[in-house]
Each structure stands twice: as C-alpha cells, then as structure tokens.
Chains A and B, each alone.
Chain A
C-alpha cells in the first residue's frame, strides 16, 4: 500500500539546491552493528584509560587545615568580615546590596536578579558561629562588648585592626601595633581557635538545620581568605592562568573551555572590574553565532572556500566529475 508520504518526500531539493539524500545510489550499511562496535570500543578505551591513569581527587580544604596552615590568614579574614571589607561583604546581589555587581551595558542583570541568598558576612560567617562557643570566657566577653557597641564603633575597631594586621610582619597578630581595636582581636583569636578545633564547618553549614547540604556560607568564608586561592594558583588553576581548562596534577581538564578562559587573559577583560559579565556576554554572543552558523552569510560558506569536503567525499567526486 502506498502512503501519501514517500512520493512527496522522495526527490525534492531544498531551497539551497541540496538534493534529497534519498535520491542517491545506496549501498548496504549496518547502523546497529556500527553502534554496537562503537559501544564496545568506547567501553574498552574507558576501562583502559581508567586503569592506566585513575582520576584526580585532592581532598577538600577543611577549616582546620586552613587554620593550621595559614592562621594569620584566618585572623585577617575574620577581622575583614567584621569590618565589611571582604569579597563576600562587598559582593552585592545575590548576597547583599553592598554593590551593584556586573552589568552588560545598560543591563544590570546582577542587580535585577535581586538578593536571593541574603548574607550578613560579619554576622553569618563570624559572630553567629562563635555564639555557640561556651568554654572561652574571653571570647564570650568580647562578643558581648561587640554587641553592645554602636555600629560606627564596631566598624572603626574592625577596620583599624584589619589595617594594623596588614601592616604587621607576615600579618602576625602578635606583631600588631598597639591601638584601640576594642574586642576585635579577641573575637578574631577566638575564631581561629574555633577553626583549629574543627568545629567551624558545622557551625557554618548546619546551624538550624540538621542536614547541612548547602555549603554557601563555608565556601564564601573560605574564598574570602587568601589560602584557597594560594593553593589554587600553586596548581595553575588561577583565573589568569587559564585555570578554567586545568585540573589538579597532570590530569586532563576541560580543554573545551579554552575560548571562555582565553578572554580573561587579554585586555580589555584582563584589566576590567566587569570582566565576568563582559566575558559571559561575549561568549553568549559567540555561542549564538555557532548555533546560527547555517544562516550567517560568509561564515556558512567557509567550508566551501576551504574544501576539506573534497577530501571527505573524494570517492564521490572522483566518480562524479563536476559538470
């Protein structure tokens, strides 16, 4: 029985002059066999590569690791959170309103998306976790002194202490010049002690929630310090080291990210405060270009100008010389 479909489709050329593929001479070809062979080949290759090279797994940095490897960085970060000078405190949406963040020309996308993950860096990353510490009377007194001070006074103490730490040799709290820092040195020292005991992660991620699945606070705190970035840079993972394409050790990374990470290496992006939004916008534009290649004059003709296809279909062209 004839269906109404086959004859209508059989020999119709497309608008660009490409004939229907069903109008050509054929030969036997076993698609299912091809797939099964491909599956076996890929499986064997996968098992071979996995057995030969394994996979990377560098342990996550714990707060205790951070506190024992870079105690001065932990103290400086705690003081910075209280002063409101850390990256998270000045980030803007979605955490707070301290900045507008990135923009694409008139499109202030970061600002428009709003504060959906509200975060008070001083309160949520330092003071609240420390509030649960009960066996450190110096810390308890310091926290009480902080709470009873006016906001201006708090900021003054914390900013002065942050600046003094930055001037001290190696940022060592023991080498800080004398000054009026209020309870801030005691709070920062208590924070370091708490991190060293290993209790900080729990206090950050699961306060009020038995199941701590969300690591937003602990990751923001870790990224506010210098230690995580130092570790990453030592492994060539920094943003200006093409880090997006790289993996720890000698393992393969994500080479397909080469173009995205490339823009971060060159001006104007490498020197722009708005690089994140600009690079993202540019990549979306280029990606749209890739999607729309069939419709872009010039771009869609490149395969015609550089005739790799003469090689791919050389058998066909040999048997069908140009008319």
Chain B
C-alpha cells in the first residue's frame, strides 16, 4: 500500500521526512487535542486560570520589553514616555511572577505530576528558574544605581562557583544581550514545551479518581 494522493494521512510507515515529522507531531499532540473546545468536567476551579494568566503576563512582558527596546538603554532615564514604558515592563514582570508562583502552588497541591506528567512539572520549574535568570539580567541592564549594586554583589556569588569566568555580570553590554536575546529565546522554547506537554496529557485528574466507565 502506498500513500498516493488520497487526501488522507498514510497508514503505512511513512518514508518522507515531511510525513515522519507530521506523524511525530500528531503523535505528540493528536489532532483535536491541541485546542480542544471541551475540558474534563472535574476542571472546575479558579486555580486553573493561573497557568493562562502567567502565559498572558509573559506576552505582556515581551511586548513591553520590545517597546522599551525601541528607545535603547538610556531612553527611559530621560523620557517620561520611556519611564512609563519601563513601568509597564516592571509591573508586567511582577504580575508574571505572582501568577507563576500561585500556579506553582496550585500544581503542587494538586500533585499535578501524576499520570506521566513529571516532565510537565520539570519544564515548569525550569521555566521558573529561567524567568529568575532573565529578570536578574534585566536588573543588570537598567544602567542605574540598582544595576551597580546588584552586579557588584552578584559577581561574588557567581565567581565563587566559576560562572563569572564566562558570564560577566559587570559587563552590561553582555548582560543586555542575554536579557533581550538569549534568555528569552531559551525561556520561550521551555514555555512552548511546557504548554505542549500540558495539551498532550490533558489536565491532571483528581487525586484517587477512577476512570468513569460510561459504556
């Protein structure tokens, strides 16, 4: 049997790279499960909205960061508009962290790693750590008193374990590039992975729940 233009996905093991990729993607998140319009009935708590709130806050963080980038490093020190954009960036970050931590608390008390969801939990924790690192480089990129103090303090901690040898917190040009390019890229990939895993496994059933045999 060959997959000749039937308009259907091939049933036999596909040989083209494209077919293999498609097969792989549909294996990770089967069709219809990426954006289902129904959810399990046990999903009935406000605690569930904090994942989406965190994701929404991340969008606002990236958008306000992009706005801040328009004027360059020193813009927000001299322009009231720039200062306001900086304030938007700061408060979106505060909201992002607050929502993320409430989400983390919720997922812990739900033991949301059950049912082969350990990798979802782990990518979530790594995203939290990546966010702390990204925020840290943001503090170093402010070009003000706080940057001076935080960088000269942080160099002691990071040098004590050898990290400072290649990650120089006293070099704001390096820190700015990590903040606006490298770390957001890595964080973005981890977040996408996290969300894909959530969609792949569906939301975790209640502790001690038994499958409903509704046949």
Q: Which residues of A contact B (CB under 8 A)?
A: 1, 3-6, 9, 11, 13-16, 18-32, 34-35, 38-39, 41-43, 45-47, 49-51, 53-61, 91, 93-94, 101-102, 104, 109-110, 112-114, 116-117, 213-216, 219-220, 222-223, 228, 231-232, 237, 239, 243-244, 247-248, 251-252, 254, 256-257, 274, 276-277, 279-281, 287, 290-295, 300, 302-304, 306-309, 312-313, 315-317, 320, 322-323
Contacts and interface: CB of A to CB of B under 8 A. Distances in A.
A115 B180 CA distance: 28
Interface string B6-39: 0011010000000000000011001101011111
17 contacts: A4-B11, A18-B204, A21-B205, A27-B40, A30-B37, A35-B55, A38-B53, A55-B83, A55-B89, A57-B86, A58-B144, A59-B77, A116-B166, A244-B153, A252-B94, A294-B118, A303-B207
B161 A41 contact: no
B40 A26 contact: yes
Given A19-B211, A23-B212, A50-B87, A280 B170 contact: no
Given A303-B110, A309-B110, A312-B109, A57 B144 contact: yes
A3 B30 contact: yes
Nearest to B142: A57
B116 to A, nearest CB: 5
Given A14-B115, A256-B132, 10 more contacts: A49-B87, A102-B160, A231-B145, A237-B149, A252-B94, A293-B108, A294-B121, A300-B111, A312-B47, A316-B44
Given A19-B210, A20-B211, A110-B162, A213 B171 contact: yes
Contacts of B8: 1
Contact of A91 (B159, B171, B210): B159
A67 to B, nearest CB: 16
A247 B143 CA distance: 15
B114 A18 contact: yes
Contacts of A110: 159-162
Nearest to A49: B91
A38 B152 contact: no
B37 A29 contact: yes
A220 B170 contact: yes
A50 B147 contact: no
A277 B95 contact: no
Interface of B: 8-9, 11, 26-27, 30-31, 33, 35-45, 47, 49, 52-53, 55-57, 59-60, 64, 76-77, 83-84, 86-92, 94-95, 97, 99, 101, 106, 108-111, 113-118, 121-122, 125-126, 129, 132, 135, 139, 142-149, 151-153, 156-166, 168, 170-174, 201-212, 214
Contact of B43 (A29, A243, A320): A29
A56 to B, nearest CB: 7
Contact of A104 (B90, B139, B161): B161
A43 B60 contact: yes
Contacts of A104: 161
A21 B204 contact: yes
Contacts of A256: 97, 101, 132
B171 A216 contact: yes
Contacts, number: 308
A309 B41 contact: no
A318 to B, nearest CB: 11
A22 B118 contact: no
With a 10 A CB-CB cut-off, give which of B91, B116, B151, B173 has the most chain A CB atoms: B91
Contacts of B209: 18-19, 24, 313, 316, 320
A19 B145 CA distance: 54
A220 to B, nearest CB: 7
B109 A113 contact: no
B160 A113 contact: no
Contact of B159 (A39, A101, A279, A312): A101
Contacts of A31: 35-37, 39, 52
A188 B145 CA distance: 25
A39 B43 CA distance: 21
Nearest to A112: B162
Given A46-B92, A110-B161, A313-B206, A58 B53 contact: no
A181 B7 CA distance: 91
A114 B47 CA distance: 48
B146 A58 contact: yes
Nearest to A23: B211
With a 10 A CB-CB cut-off, give which of B33, B39, B142 has the most chain A CB atoms: B39
A280 B162 CA distance: 11
A13 B162 CA distance: 45
A317 B206 contact: yes
Contacts of A222: 148, 152
B155 to A, nearest CB: 8
Nearest to B97: A256
A276 B88 contact: no
